[in-house]
Copies of this chain bind each other. A is one copy, B any other.
Amino acid sequence: MRIGLTILIAVVLVSCSGTDSESDVTVDTNDDQVFEWKLVTTWPKNYPGLGLAPENFSKKVAAMSNGRLQIKVFGAGQLVPAFEVFDAVSQGTAQVGHGASYYWTGKSKATAFFTSVPFGLNAQEMNGWLHYGGGLELWRELYDEFNLIPFAGGNTGVQMAGWFNREINSMEDIKGLKMRIPGLGGDVITRAGGVSVTISGGELYTAMQTGVIDALEWVSPYNDIALGFHQVAKYYYYPGWHEPGPTLELIINKDAYATLPSDLQAIVETAARAVNQDMLDEYTARNNEALISLVETHGVQLRKLPDEVIAELRSISMDMFDELANDSDIAKRIADSVKSFQQQATAYHEISEEAYYNARKQN
C-alpha cells in the first residue's frame, strides 16, 4: 500500500502549523520507507523464554519505528531449519536470526566463547564483558567474515546441571552415562568417560522415558517443567557448571543493517539491549516459581553434584579452554580477553555478590 502524496502533504501542513506547546520546531524523519524483514530462530515459535525474545524484539522495534521496520518472526523449521539460521542470515535469506553462538562451532570453534563456557562467566559478568570488557568487539570481528553483526539477545542465567536417572556420587558414575548435553559441556562429559548425545528438545522426553539416555540437560525450572522431565527422571542436579550464563544472540545481516537509516539502526541496537535484559528478568522470576512447583507439588528430588565431581569437571574444562584458545589467532585473543575479565570478576564477586548471598542467609 502506498500512502497518497495528498495525505502526506496534509499531515505535513498539520505538523507545521505550530500548535505544539512544547516546541514549534519540526524535523523531517528523513526516511519514511518501510522495511519488511524476516527473523528466523532456532527455537519453536513462541517457546517460553527463549522464543519470546525474538517476538519481544520485533514488537519493540515496530512500536519504536512506528511501523517503519516490520520484522516477521519465524519459528524453527517455518522458513529454515533451526541449524540453518546462521547461513540464512549470512546469505540474506532472512535479515535477522535469534539463537546461540555455540551452535555454529562448525563455522569457527571460537563462536563457543560467546554463549557460555563451562566454569566461565555468569550472566552479570557476560554482560559486563560484552559491553564494557571488549567482548562485543571481538564477537563482531569474528562474525564479520560471515557478513553478520551480532548483538547479545538474552540470557537464561545459570542453568541446572540437568535431569538424571542415575545418582552421581563420584566420577565413576559419569562413566558410560548417556547424556544429552551439547557444546563444550558435552565434550567435557565425553572426556570424563560419558557419552554425549545430541537430541532435539521435542524428542527428549521420550528418549529419557525409554532409557535411550540416562540424563539430559535442558535449561532451568521455568523451561524444564513445561517439558515434563520430572515425570521421567528421578533426580534434578545442580549447579549448571556447563552453562553458567548463556548469552543468546541476535544476528543481523550486515548489508541489510547498512541499508537502515541511522535512527532505525539505533532502534535495533537499543531493542536488542532491552531484550537481552528482559529475558534474564523473566527467567529470574519464573525459575523461582517453577522450582517451588517442582519440589513442593511434584516432589522432585533436588541433588547437588558432589564437590569431587565438580572439581574434576572443572579440571577437564580448564584443559579444554586452553585447547580452544589455541585453535586460531582470534580464538586466542578472545580466550585471553575473557580469561582476564573472569579473573577480575571472580575476585570482585567473591567480596560482593557471593559474599552478599552468604550474608543474607546467615541465621
Contact = CB atoms under 8 A, between A and B. Distances in A.
Interface of A: 1-3, 5, 7-9, 11-13, 15-16, 18, 20-37, 60, 63-68, 119, 122-125, 127-133, 157-158, 160, 220-221, 238-241, 244, 256, 259, 261-263, 266-267, 270-271, 273-274, 276-278, 280-289, 291-292, 302, 304-305, 307, 310-311, 314, 341, 344-363
Given A27-B67, A345-B284, A357 B354 contact: yes
A357 B357 contact: yes
A37 B119 CA distance: 46
B353 A122 contact: yes
Secondary structure of the A contact surface, majority rule: helix
A261 B287 CA distance: 36
A124 B60 CA distance: 22
A348 B160 CA distance: 11
13 contacts: A2-B18, A3-B16, A26-B32, A124-B124, A128-B282, A160-B352, A239-B356, A267-B267, A273-B278, A304-B355, A310-B362, A346-B360, A346-B361
A29 to B, nearest CB: 5
B267 A64 contact: yes
Given A22-B33, A133-B285, A124 B127 contact: no
Number of copies: 2
B1 A347 contact: no
B353 A158 contact: yes
Nearest to A120: B360
A348 B311 contact: no
Contact of A2 (B16, B37, B273, B314): B16
A305 B356 CA distance: 11
A281 B157 contact: no
A313 to B, nearest CB: 9
